[in-house]
Structure 1
Amino acid sequence: MSFSKRLILYMFIILLVASIYKDLSLGDDMINPYQDIETFITKDSQYTIIKVKVEWGDTVLSIIKDLNEGKIKVPFEKIINDFQELNPNIDPNSMEPENYYYFPLYK
């Protein structure tokens, strides 16, 4: 094997090992992507209020699905109305990443 082929092979192996190490050591973040959560319980409400830090690519519906573990029996219009009630003056279609918003956790 020539020197350049061996060098490329060693570099590939080092990058592969580094990548696997990083995935294994930092991979726990995706288990619970909403770690910065505060819960508020309201009286006479059909949901609990949860404060969530929004990340890139999150939408109101995707966060609601994740928080409610995919079990949503509430119409989409109600979800949007509840979000707007909890976050006045915020457009549900233009949430800014790295900001906190209130979301309903349905019972």
Structure 2
Amino acid sequence: MNWFKRMAIYLFVILLLMSIYNDLTKGTPLKSKDFFAEDEVVTPKEIGVVKIQAHHGDTILTLSEKLEQTRTGKINMKDIITDFKTLNPDADPYKLDPGAYYYFPLNKFDSQ
């Protein structure tokens, strides 16, 4: 009986180490259908965007405030920067070029 317990423990440890090695090297494959089934991919055409020309001294916040003149409430800067980066992948959100056009989402500025 002692020999059987010892072999069972050795077998368990070997299988555990093999499993850990497999996870670290290959990982667990994810099916793309299952992974993205819960998230909806929204394109800029579906959410509505507005194209705004930046002027000297404009920031993302000032342009966002121009869009949300009729809305009362707080502006979440993290959301605005994330949306800006999504719609303008080549632009630096912290340094807008005067005269350049940038896209902003309209759905973020609807009244709540």
5+ residue gaps, structure 1, are 1-40
Q: After superposition, what is the alpha-carbon deviation per residue over 1:65-90, rounded to whole angstroms, capped at 9, x for unaligned?
A: 11110635442100100010000021
Structure ranking higher in strand proportion: 1
Q: Cα gap change, 1:91/1:79 in structure 2, threshold over 3 Å: closer, same or farther?
A: same
Counterpart selection for 1:42 from 30, 42, 45: 45
Q: Which has the higher helix share?
A: 2
Measured against aligned partners, the alpha-carbon deviations of 1:27-85 in whole angstroms (never above 9, x if no partner) come to: xxxxxxxxxxxxxx732x3xx30001110111001100111106354421001000100
Question: Secondary structure at the residue paired with 1:51?
Answer: strand
- After TM superposition, the runs of 4+ consecutive aligned structure 1 residues lying more than 6 A away are none
Q: What's the TM-score, normalizing by structure 2?
A: 0.51
Structure 2, unmatched stretches of 5+, are: 1-43
Q: Would you say the 8 A contact 1:64–1:104 is kept in 2? A: no
TM-score (norm 1): 0.53
- Structure 2 Cα separation of the partners of residues 74 and 58 of structure 1: 17
User: Aligned-residue CA RMSD in angstroms?
Assistant: 1.9
Number of positions where the alignment pairs a residue of Structure 1 with one of Structure 2: 64
> Using the alignment, how far apart are the partners of 1:70 and 1:53 within structure 2?
20
Query: What is the rounded CA distance, in whole Å, between the counterparts of 1:83 and 1:99 in structure 2?
Result: 14
Matched position secondary structure for 2:61:
helix
